[in-house]
Amino acid sequence: MTNQRDNSQRLGDFTTTARVLPISLLAIGIGVVSTFVAWALLCLIAFFTNAFYYGRMSTAPASPSGNHLGWFVFLVPVAGGLIIGFMARYGSERIRGHGIPEALESILINGSKVQPRLAVLKPISAAISIGSGGPFGAEGPIIMTGGAFGSIISQLFHLTAAERKTLLVAGAAAGMSATFATPIAAVMLAVELLLFEWKPRSAIPVALASATAGAARRYILGLGPLFPVPAHAIFIGPAGLAGCLAAGLLAGCLSALLTLSVYKAEDSFMKLPIHWKWWPAIGGLAVGLGGMIFPQALGVGYDTIHALLQGDVPRTVIAGVLLVKSAIWVIAL
């Protein structure tokens, strides 16, 4: 008995109970739901891209960079910004932002409770933003939307705050897994950003939700990675490792610069003598100007990422991503 008590004290909160079983079953269901949510978000992005830039009703994948609007392309992000501003003002202010900080706020301040209307307005507003040329990815919106559905389901079953957090994070991880076909990375990202713990009571349901979404993805979104790469040698040698080191250091510096730039841009918008519902349209002006200079900067840019990974892009494209894409991303965000 003494040994068991000592082991229990040593393990502390890293033990779990049978309660993890029903929570895991709910997490598996959330994994399936989040896969459909990811599919719907990608379809919405494609739909609005086609509508804004090509005037057609289609959910086929499309890139804004191939449009033939001429100088009218300058007005498209402004129109999208106007729509989003009014959606945020009269629908839900919580659709503002790119998703991850809002998910954190729901966990830390609101007891992991998310309004049901956010699960509808967030993906629609994100799709309009990206579809009208916003230089954003799908990761933030899918984290917030998947997390919203996880929170809603947990509220239906009247779970505790800790269990609501677990299912919110499970929905976020499942959405990431379904969108990017990265179930393991989705769990690691969710634990690092949202869960704040690595304990069986929460890690098991989150991992099951992510694995379920990864398995369901093949039937809804298809097989294969989002960004395939050409065949390459496993061993890259000392020179390759040195290149990885340099890339890591440069990426760290660039991320710090971008983060500081976002804060500076936010402070600048706060000083404007107009209501915040007009801010997305002002950001749209910067996006439109950037799109005229470098069309590949518009939208999610997955086609540009794919080309970069294939290693067959001119240096002008790399410069455009580093300069134009970064600048309009900072202002638009």
In order, the DSSP letters of 69-113 are: -GGGGGTHHHHHHHHHHHHHHHT-GGG-S-SHHHHHHHHHTSTT-
Q: Tell me the CATH number of domain 17-220, given options 1.10.287.110, 1.10.3080.10, 2.60.40.2240, 3.90.870.10.
A: 1.10.3080.10
Residues of the chain with pLDDT > 90: what percent?
Answer: 47
Query: According to the model, what pLDDT value does residue 260 have?
Result: 95
Give the pLDDT mean for 287-308: 87
N residues, the chain: 333
- Please write the tens of the pLDDT for every residue from 118-161: 888 888 999 999 999 988 888 888 888 888 888 889 889 988 88
- Residue 234 backbone dihedrals phi, psi, to 5 degrees: -70, -40
**HSE-up (13 A, CA, CB side) for residue 124:** 14
Give the pLDDT mean for 312-323: 85
Region at 223 (left for phi over 0; alpha for psi -120 to 50; beta for the rest):
beta
Give the pLDDT mean for 220-238: 83
- Please write the tens of the pLDDT for every residue from 79-109: 999 999 999 999 888 778 766 777 777 776 7
Output the CA torsion sign for 311, 313, 319, 321. Answer: negative
CA distances from 132 to 158, 238, 324 (A): 39, 44, 17
pLDDT interval class at 10 (50, 70, 90): low
- Please write the tens of the pLDDT for every residue from 24-33: 999 999 999 9
Query: According to the model, what pLDDT value does residue 211 have?
Result: 96
Instruction: Record the pTM.
Output: 0.85
| Per-residue b or e along 280-296, where b marks 16 or more CB atoms closer than 10 Å to that residue's CB | bbbbbbbbbbbbeebbb
Contacts of 18 (CB under 8 A, 6+ apart): none
**pLDDT higher than threshold 90 for residue 243:** yes
Structure tokens at 90: 């009269």
Structure tokens at 143: 């984290």
pLDDT interval class at 275 (50, 70, 90): very high
pLDDT interval class at 3 (50, 70, 90): low
Higher pLDDT, residue 3 or 144: 144
Contacts of 1 (CB under 8 A, 6+ apart): none
**pLDDT higher than threshold 60 for residue 6:** no
pLDDT interval class at 4 (50, 70, 90): low
**pLDDT higher than threshold 60 for residue 9:** no
Distance in angstroms (rounded) separating the CA atoms of residues 152 and 167: 9
Query: According to the model, what pLDDT value does residue 196 have?
Result: 82
Question: What's the chain's Rg over C-alpha atoms?
Answer: 21
Break the chain into its structural domains and give their ranges: 17-220, 239-332
Query: According to the model, what pLDDT value does residue 5 have?
Result: 53
The answer to whether residues 206 and 187 touch, using CB atoms and an 8 Å cutoff, is: yes
Query: According to the model, what pLDDT value does residue 311 have?
Result: 79
**pLDDT higher than threshold 60 for residue 325:** yes
- Please write the tens of the pLDDT for every residue from 170-228: 999 999 999 988 999 999 988 888 888 888 888 999 999 999 999 999 999 888 777 88
Amino acid at 167: L
DSSP string, 196-238: ----HHHHHHHHHHHHHHHHHHHHHT-SS-SS------S--HH
